[in-house]
Structure 1
Amino acid sequence: MTAPRFVDPSLLTDTADGPALLGSRCSDCGAHTFPRQGGCPRCTGAAMEDVPLSRTGTLWSWTTQGFRPKPPYTGTEAYEPYAVGYVELPDQLLVETRLAETDPDRLEIGMPVELALVPFRGDDQGSVHTYAFVRRTS
């Protein structure tokens, strides 16, 4: 079995608990960023280090993407609306993300969520995945 391919492999890293988003942390002030950055937006310092971000968080806010995004969007040909939101990663930052759940009745602000890898599109080499957050069950 071949490993899944990702839309942008530089956004993820492997950890003992599974894949995690790869962010940056400022060594001067402790601010986190995602995606990784070479400079700190809080203190303008340049001492940034790569860090895996928390795999779990809480849903801070969300909405539904009801129309096909503008190019260069390369998702599936049969477009279906999906949920997007902000997830608060504890003691780190808010991450804008796709949500795996698309039923608005099953989404609620404050619900616990965790990182998942989900299919994004297919091509002649197979499936391409992206990240999303799903309701945490434990």
Structure 2
Amino acid sequence: MARKVAEGLFHGEGDSTRLLAGRHRETGRLRFPLPTGPDREYYDEVELSPRGKLWSYTIQRFRPKTPFNGRGDDADFKPYGVGYVELPGELIVESRLVANDLSTLKIGQPMHITTEAYRDDENGPVLTYAFAPDGEESRA
């Protein structure tokens, strides 16, 4: 059974995924991820928009150094996108980017939230949130 990389970061899977942010009770400013610890009492939990536009990105073409714990070793590592997605009127969030063809990613491109199994542990797949280009099927 799949589990989330961290509690309080997002809920749902695939198309039903929503990032969880905090809205400061006094200033109304959003903060992602939702604060934890002592600061948590100053924030109300809010769901961020599932859609946005690609603001900036790069392609990770080699396996990052430790403490990276994603799938694969140097021999079978698969490149992935990482970038910033602007959620209109809310925030710009950093995210993994998933696409059928990473060379089709373009700044300003409409994106939607999804999830991706980025590694496995003793209990099965570990999910993180990701954004995918509109028109591409969401992952789980």
Q: TM-score w.r.t. structure 1 length?
A: 0.81
**Deviation of residue 104 (structure 1)?**
4.1
Contact 2:9 2:19 (C-alpha < 8 Å) held by counterparts:
yes
**Does the 8 Å contact 1:23/1:35 carry over to 2?**
yes
Alpha-carbon distance between aligned partners in 1 of 2:61 and 2:83, rounded to the nearest angstrom: 13
- The higher relative CO (CA closer than 8 Å, separation ≥ 6) is in 2
In structure 2, distance between residues paired with 1:136 and 1:37 = 29
1:122 lines up with 2:120 in the alignment: yes
Shift of the alpha carbon at 1:66? 2.1
Which blocks of at least 5 consecutive residues in structure 2 are unaligned?
Answer: none
Q: What is the total number of aligned residue pairs between the two structures?
A: 130
Query: What whole-Å deviation, never above 9, does each CA across 1:83-103 have from its counterpart, x for those lacking one?
Result: 111000111110000000273
Task: Specify the alignment match of 1:47 in structure 2.
Answer: 42
Determine what percentage of the aligned residue pairs are the same residue. Answer: 41
Unaligned runs of 5+ in 1: 40-45
- Deviation track 1:41-61 (CA, whole Å, cap 9, x = no partner) reads xxxxx7321111111111011
Distance 1:102-1:31 versus aligned 2 partners, 3 A rule:
farther
Distance 1:24 1:118, change over 3 A: same
Name the one with the larger helix percent: 2
The CA deviation string for residues 85-128 of structure 1, in whole angstroms up to 9 with x for no partner, is: 10001111100000002734310111111111111112232211
- C-alpha change, 1:104 and 1:13, in structure 2 (3 Å) is closer
Q: Say what the alpha-carbon RMSD is for the aligned residues.
A: 2.4
